[in-house]
Each structure stands twice: as structure tokens, then as C-alpha cells.
Structure 1
């Protein structure tokens, strides 16, 4: 599939583990080497391509285990990428709260804050460099559940509202690969784009196979 973009938008892609200068970074060569060693000792590899852009939304799936959060953090530490994530506001107190913010956490109180999508679009609008990681499977449903029930649309509307692309992050436990890419620009319709996006994750089993949603490839994309 050809990524959707405006006529004036130019994207270059970097084959991992090399990262372009425009991508938000954190850590140094020593820290990247350490976490890369940890990943290799676990038998995992990071493969794929990342766009030479300073702002985008990372879409992680299939989400079947809390270990997915650890693997995402380990991957980003290995690559030395500065990624942000949203989580419930309650742990953001004291030393734990300081660590979570340092690590890239953004607290969200759904009872007091306005619309989640609007808040995240504002985060993008207020920063020259910003990467947001989202796992759209709000519930790690059983394999017989429909894909539409298992995915939340916020990731798509955030990217569209902020004018940034979606970068897939695929948790391939069978091959022990963290696969990054492809990159897709959101179009005019979530309903039309969702089968295409989900198609990149089709056939990939999560850590808990019985919780992996059954997705179909979109052969018309």
C-alpha cells in the first residue's frame, strides 16, 4: 500500500536499527547498546522501517498481554526513540509520578478532562517533536470477537486531527520480532481505512494466542 500524504509531503524512510536525525531521540550510544543487548539475550530483534519525521502516532497490536507494554518500552529504548504514552492519572503521584513523566507518560483523568482525542491533538500542535504510542485494542478480546469491537478509533482521529501519519508496531511473538512499519496517512474515513490498517496485523498471533483478534487482510488496498 502507498502511504497517504499530501502532494507536498516528502517522507524518507530509515531501515532499522538506524534512525534518522529528525526522529525524537533519548538516551545515548551506551544506553542503546545495553538495551539492545538485553533484547538480543531475550532472542528478540527489531526490524522494519521508521519514517524520517518528527511527529507521528505509533499503533501497537496485537495487544494480548501486559508484556506488550514492556516490549514496546524495550524496543524504543533499544532504538533510542523518545516516545510518549497515555495512562490513567492515578499512579502519577510522588516519585512514581515523576518517573512516569520522565519515561514519557501523560496522565489522563477521563472524569475531569475534556475529549481525549482533542487533548492529544493539542499535545501534537504544541510540540515540534512528538511521538505517541497507542494500543488501539481497548479490550484484549477472544478470537471470536469482531475486530470492530476490539479496536478503539481514537488513534486514527488523533493522527488525522494532528495531520500526522500512523506507524505500525507489530508484536510478532512467534518470530520474536518487533516489526516497525509500514507508515500510513489517515484518509477521510475511519471505516474505509480500518480494514487496510488492520490488514497489516492479520495473521500475527500475540503472546496469548487465544486472545488474538482474528483480522482479515484487505486485498484491495
Structure 2
């Protein structure tokens, strides 16, 4: 199962070992396998596709726990206030105010600079619905922060979560996107008609951020 085909990030005490075991056991009972090794990196943007269902979340959280990784994620600005703000930030939320014209790339770049270790998890499709093109924010954030992109694939056909490559952006978004999306040409989401992944090709579209 997972333990024979993948390797986690370095441990952080006995608690992380327990979480790894629980997550690995849960994935195994659900029929899922994790493939690949978590890279030895202090900072990175980790992307996952296809994202077509709310079920993706629990599976990916379990995979993160198995790899002993605690990713940060972008949330609405409202999540940064109120009684649960501290809890959500502790769980990795980075509140972003998109309505005020905030420069998201610069904001997240500054968060990267403020941390010695950080993994930001993003879904480049941006939504569980079919979209004309991937959002390019993940790429621009990685370039601005000077960090690599960990490519993650969730495939319901094979029931695997895999890490096929650590990609280092060259600055040529169009060319790099082709190389990145090649990893997703055969991946099938839970709702295949809601993603271009698994179709063998991605349509050309606007550079959406």
C-alpha cells in the first residue's frame, strides 16, 4: 500500500507518526494509494488536479497527513476575523481580500518570505465546475516567491494520489503550462465532465488569474 511506494517529509515528533499512520490506514481502507516521495524542500507551491468534487478535500487532507505535510491555503478575507479566525489560521488559512483589488500574488509572496518553511496548496482549475482555462495564479505566485511547484495528481480511475514531478518555473508561462498539464492528460476526476483533465488535451484559453 502507501508505505511501499511513497515516502513522507521528515517527522516532527511522535504525534506526526500517529497522524501518518491514521491517514495511511484511512486511505488504505478507502481503497486509495499514494505514490511518489515528498521532496526535501523548505518552500513550495503544491498544485492538485483534477478538482471536481467535495470528496477531493478529505482524500487530499489524508494524503497530506500521510506525507506529514501541513499546507497553507487561501481563504476569504472574512475567515481572518471572528471567533474562529485563530483556529483557521492555525489550520493554514491565509485570508485574502479579493474584492478590494488586493494584489494576491504580492500578498502571498510576502507570506512566503515571512516563513522559513511553507507549502501552499492550490487547485489551478479554481473551481469544481468546468472552466475554459486554468487560473495562472499558482504559477505567478511560485515565480514571485522563487519556489518550485510540486505537481500532485488525484486520479479516481486508479484511486491514486501521486507526486510525479517537482517543476521549476522558467518564466515562460505558456510553455511551462504545457509541460505541467501533461501530467494530467490521463487523470480522471470523480466527475469527469467537470474537468479537461483526462481528455488527452487542454483547450487554449485566456490567461486567467
How do residues 1-20 of structure 1 correspond to structure 2 at under 5 angstroms? 16-20=6-10
TM-score (structure 2 length as normaliser): 0.84
Contact kept, 8 Å, 1:44 with 1:178, in 2: the verdict is yes
Query: Counterpart in 1 of 2:206?
Result: none
After superposing the two structures, state which structure 1 stretch, 197-206 or 72-81, moved more. 72-81
Q: Within 1, Cα distance between the matches of 2:70 and 2:8?
A: 15
Residue 102 (1) aligns with residue 90 (2): yes
- Residue 169 of structure 1 deviates from its aligned partner by 0.9
Go from structure 1 to structure 2 and tell me whether the alpha carbon gap of 1:164 and 1:104 turns closer, same or farther (over 3 Å shift).
Answer: same
Q: Distance in 2 between matches of 1:130 and 1:98?
A: 18
The aligned residue for residue 52 of structure 2 is: 64
In structure 1, how many angstroms separate the alpha carbons of the residues matched to 2:15 and 2:120? 18
- 1:18-58 CA-to-partner distances (Å, cap 9, x unmatched) read 3247xx89942112211221111111121112221110000
Gaps in structure 2 of 5+ consecutive residues: 203-209
Q: Match of 2:163?
A: 180
Structure 1 segments of 4+ aligned residues over 6 angstroms from their partners? none
Q: TM-score scaled by structure 1?
A: 0.80
Please report the RMSD computed on the Cα atoms of aligned residues, expressed in angstroms: 2.3
Q: Is the 8 A contact 2:46 2:151 kept in 1?
A: yes
CA contact under 8 A between 2:153 and 2:163: conserved in structure 1? yes
CA distance in structure 2 between the partners assigned to 1:215 and 1:151 by the alignment? 15
CA offset digits 1:112-160 (Å, max 9, x no partner): 3621111111111121101000001024444xx6xxx330001001111
